[in-house]
Amino acid sequence: MGNVTKSQPNNIRTPDGNSLAVFVDGVSGMMMIKDIMGNIQPLSDYVVGLGSVPFRYDANGTGIEPILGTNNASGCFATIGGGNSNTASGCRSTVGGGRCNISSNYNSTIGGGCANTASGCLATIGGGFSNLASLNTSTVGGGEDNTASAINSTVAGGRYIVASGQHSTVGGGYALIASGDYSTISGGYANIASQYASSVGGGQNNNSSGCFSKIGGGIQNTASGNYSTVGGGCSNVTNSAYSTIGGGYGNSASGGNSFIGGGYVNTASGSYSGILAGKSNSTNTCACAMIVGSNITANRVCATFVNNLSIVNIPTAPAGLPSGSVWRSGTALCIVV
């Protein structure tokens, strides 16, 4: 455009009649027009490109905002692309469009939607309704009433979701809480991952509350022991370190390093004890006790308990059987000594 001399409005005189004077304001740097009555308005009020939305500098002369829609880009180098009643008050903050969105910190961004607030530095909200990204580098992709309130926390979408642990992640779903640092919830309903690096894959009303604990899915499962795991099923509980339940219903692995494969209402309360499956079994605090069957209660350590043991008939002992091996030849049980 070349070097245009800037002027004060009082220094601009218009010719007689209906003529207008065009000048560059010396304070705002905006191109203005003045009529013979002394009325002054931005020239951009009258210059609208075909199909485009007119923009102007904000009151501070640093941000860019639409003329229409009562938007306010008051932050230094802030930008509002469109919409209505949006505010970009943080330095280099951006609101792409939508309505009643607030981008209030350094380099925070809202793509669109309604009533979203990005108040953390470098925070991002893609869209949706009434979402909040309130701490540094927090992100909400979309959805409704979601909150990412810790450093590097992320909510991809869904509704009524909270990612409040540092570096926590929620993929989507409904009414989920990832409050542990580095915790993860992939989806589901009313699931909680509340300790360091805890995770829930999906399902409903699951609670992973031990450090590094994991629940794959299912309903109303609890993994409260550190490094404990529930694969799925319903109402299963692993409340000791390194305990594992594969699935089933109403099982409890309360001994350290205990294991239940599945089944119904089994209890592995002895350390290093295990129950394959079945129902109503208990290792009864006996360490290293193993149960294969149903309705069995262990009564000593380092023993295996079964309802019935069937040994296949082998007329001749296979070569290489170690000492202590049992095999059947006809009607006789044989032991390798």
What is the gyration radius of the CA atoms in the chain, in angstroms?
Answer: 35
Residues 3 and 38 in one domain: yes
Residues 297 and 318 in one domain: no
Write the CB contacts of 68 (distance below 8 Å, at least 6 apart in sequence): 53, 54
Three-state secondary-structure class, residue 44: helix
What rounded mean pLDDT belongs to the chain? 92
Q: Is residue 115 one of the residues assigned to a domain? A: no
Instruction: Show the domain range for 332.
Output: 311-337
Contact 163, 170 (CB under 8 A): yes
- Residue-level pLDDT at 265: 98
Residues 251 and 292 in one domain: yes
- Residue-level pLDDT at 181: 98
Q: Is residue 331 one of the residues assigned to a domain? A: yes
Find where tokens 């019935």 sit. Answer: 308
Residues 301 and 256 in one domain: yes
Contact 55, 71 (CB under 8 A): no
In the chain, the amino acid numbered 71 is N
What residues form DSSP beta bridges with 274?
259, 290
Q: Is residue 229 one of the residues assigned to a domain? A: no
Contact 163, 153 (CB under 8 A): yes
Q: Alpha-carbon distance 283 to 269, whole Å?
A: 6
Q: Residue 191 corresponds to which tokens in the numbers above?
A: 């699931």
Mean pLDDT of all residues in 88-116:
97
Q: Alpha-carbon distance 265 to 277, whole Å?
A: 10
Contact 265, 251 (CB under 8 A): yes
Residues 316 and 290 in one domain: no
Phi, psi of 92 (to 5 degrees): 60, 25
Whether 16 shows a pLDDT value over 70: the answer reads: no
Q: Is residue 189 one of the residues assigned to a domain? A: no
Q: Alpha-carbon distance 197 to 210, whole Å?
A: 9
Residues 248 and 293 in one domain: yes
First to last CA, the chain: 103
Q: Residue 124 corresponds to which tokens in the numbers above?
A: 């991002």
Q: Is residue 333 one of the residues assigned to a domain? A: yes
DSSP assignment letter at 11: G
Q: Alpha-carbon distance 67 to 161, whole Å?
A: 35
Question: How many domains, in total, are found in the chain?
Answer: 3
Q: Alpha-carbon distance 235 to 214, whole Å?
A: 15
Long-range contacts of 93-99 (CB under 8 A, 24+ apart): 93/118, 95/71, 98/127
Residues 18 and 36 in one domain: yes
- Residue-level pLDDT at 34: 86
Q: Is residue 65 one of the residues assigned to a domain? A: no
- Residue-level pLDDT at 1: 45
Q: Alpha-carbon distance 279 to 324, whole Å?
A: 30
Residues 334 and 299 in one domain: no
Q: Alpha-carbon distance 296 to 65, whole Å?
A: 74
Task: Calculate the alpha carbon distances from 195 to 134, 159, 163, 213, 238 in Å.
Answer: 21, 22, 12, 8, 15
- Residue-level pLDDT at 17: 65
Q: What is the pLDDT of residues 213-256, one digit of tens each?
A: 999 999 999 999 999 999 999 999 999 999 999 999 999 999 99
Q: Residue 162 corresponds to which tokens in the numbers above?
A: 């909270």
Find where tokens 């009325």 sit. Answer: 39
Q: Is residue 264 one of the residues assigned to a domain? A: yes
Q: What is the pLDDT of residues 174-200, one digit of tens each?
A: 999 999 999 999 999 999 999 999 999
- Residue-level pLDDT at 284: 96
Residues 260 and 301 in one domain: yes
Residues 298 and 331 in one domain: no
Q: What is the pTM of this model?
A: 0.82
Whether 48 shows a pLDDT value over 70: the answer reads: no
